[in-house]
Amino acid sequence: MQVELRRGLPRVPGGEPWPPAGTVDVADAPVEDAPVAAGAAAPVVGATETTEVPLRRGLPRVPGGEPWPPAGTVRVAAAAAAAETADVAEPAHTIEVPLRRGLPRVEGGDPWPPAGTVRVAAPAPEAEPEPHPETETEPAAPVAATVVDDAVAKTAPEPAPKPVPKPAQQPAPASATAGKPEGVARQWLPWAIGALLLLAAAVFGARWFVGTETGAGFIERYDGIQPLPDNAPVGFPAWLNWAHFFNMFLMALIVKTGLDVRREKRPDAYWQPKKGGKKISVTLWLHQVLDVAWVVLGVVFFVLLFATGQWMRIVPTSWDVFPNAVSAGLQYLSLDWPDENGWVYYNALQELSYFVTVFVAAPLAIASGFRMSGMWPASWKAVPVSWARAVHFPTMVYFLIFVAVHVFLVAATGLRGNLNAMFAARDDASGWLGLILFLLAVAVTAAGWWAARPSVVTPVAQATGKVTRR
């Protein structure tokens, strides 16, 4: 008999539906009787008996079109209709499963078919031997529609892979972005709690030790004050106040741009030297410019530090600095802080911390930053860049901790007196000039922090090189 071919989707984009329109000769469905159990007859539906069933509609042939094929009916063998419409004799042998959903019928629509479930035959349980098993009739012969599908499948070439449509980019849900800070807070919360518990334990331990006879004797022998040479200068000169401000300003911007470089995935703009060379992000260019300015400031600071004798205030001149530093630390932790006079001298712990910051941490930051920059000669391969990366970030963390402790102690040990010495070059414990100058310095630093962004920096970067978007 002649049966029209059921046409599907095109094999290539923009092509004709496959297979081509036409008919195919198929054999009539067999009408032989199916094997039956002894004493029972199995009814068989003849292949010549047909009935009308609605066409199963698929995806549209063109974007925005109607589903294909058009709505209508087709005549098929009655066995097929019976197989699709017959009620299940034994509901216990069926299960409900969710429908597998496919692509949307129209652009922006919901996946098809709609969400739902369908009842299907349950997996047959493993047969167990019984004394008198009952036999069942075999299913009816295959219908004409199945024969048509098999004939097309055997004659059609292997379908070409369809291009997978690229899903449209959608904005991230608000919940995904809103939950990120909360996740970061939860990640750091155990560390913060652990640090507070450790600090509390250190305070109680120090207070207990200082209260013992051994601890009291140690504090009496080493009071925490490191004696200075007789020719050590007294007070802060004006150049040291200016150096302190510029160091505060540059360090804040260096830390800010350094963190921006680590977080930056797609820079807003790139900078390249006028004579050509490697492109870097504008943020990294600003970071390196600030680094160079900080190095220049450091060179001037070192020259004046040794030219004026101020080095004697931060460079240990006796081995007693170490037990005195331990004594000063115990006094801080026990909340019975050591005596100090920042205008004249630092205690031993302050002296060691300033020495490590100026003569150890700063050179490490400069050396590792230089190795990671484009200014490092390519022929110098003795120092691996992995070493520089392993040193540079922890050094920045050290500076952050130092600044936090430094600011806390300045505020806790006489705010106005310390600010007068650091910003106004005055030995005045009650004046307001130092505080006013400090607030101005904070305002200037905040303005620089705000301006350290590609939209503001780009015009400046264009004066020294070529700035592009990619």
- Report pLDDT for 41: 42
Integer angstrom CA distances of residue 334 from 70, 126, 206, 337, 386: 88, 78, 5, 7, 41
* Backbone φ and ψ of 72, nearest 5°: 175, -165
At residue 320, the 3 state secondary structure works out as coil
- Report pLDDT for 1: 63
All CATH 1.20.950.20 domain ranges in the chain, comma separated: 202-468
pLDDT tens-place string over residues 248-295:
999 999 999 988 988 888 888 899 888 877 888 999 999 999 999 999
Sign of CA dihedral 166, 168, 173, 179: positive
Report the top-level CATH class of 202-468. Answer: mainly alpha
pLDDT exceeds cutoff 70 at 145: no
Asked if 402 contacts 360 with a C-beta cutoff of 8 angstroms, the reply is: no
- Report pLDDT for 146: 42
More confident residue, 335 or 7: 335
pLDDT exceeds cutoff 80 at 186: no
- Report pLDDT for 310: 92
- Report pLDDT for 107: 75
The runs of H, that is alpha helices, within 413-432 are: 415-423
Can you read off the two tokens belonging to residue 216? Answer: 């009291």
- Report pLDDT for 26: 59
At residue 37, the 3 state secondary structure works out as coil
pLDDT exceeds cutoff 60 at 466: yes
| E strand or H helix at 75 | strand 73-77
Dist. CA 93–CA 246, nearest whole Å: 83
Which of 372, 377, 367 has the alpha carbon at shortest distance from 262? 372
Can you read off the two tokens belonging to residue 333? Answer: 């932790």
* Mean pLDDT, range 131-159, rounded to an integer: 43
How much is the pTM? 0.57
Pairing of strands 23-25, 2-4: antiparallel
Q: Which of 239-253, 261-275, 370-384 has the highest mean pLDDT?
A: 239-253
- Report pLDDT for 77: 66
Integer angstrom CA distances of residue 228 from 310, 312, 316, 317, 318: 11, 7, 9, 8, 9
Q: 24-33, 212-221, 385-394: which range is least confident on average?
A: 24-33
CB count, 10 Å around CB of 110?
11
pLDDT exceeds cutoff 80 at 214: yes
Can you read off the two tokens belonging to residue 242? Answer: 């200016």
Q: Within the chain, what is the greatest distance between any pair of CA atoms?
A: 126
- Report pLDDT for 8: 79
More confident residue, 70 or 303: 303
More confident residue, 54 or 385: 385
- Report pLDDT for 113: 79
pLDDT exceeds cutoff 90 at 357: yes
pLDDT bucket at 108, cuts 50 / 70 / 90: confident
Average pLDDT value for the chain: 78
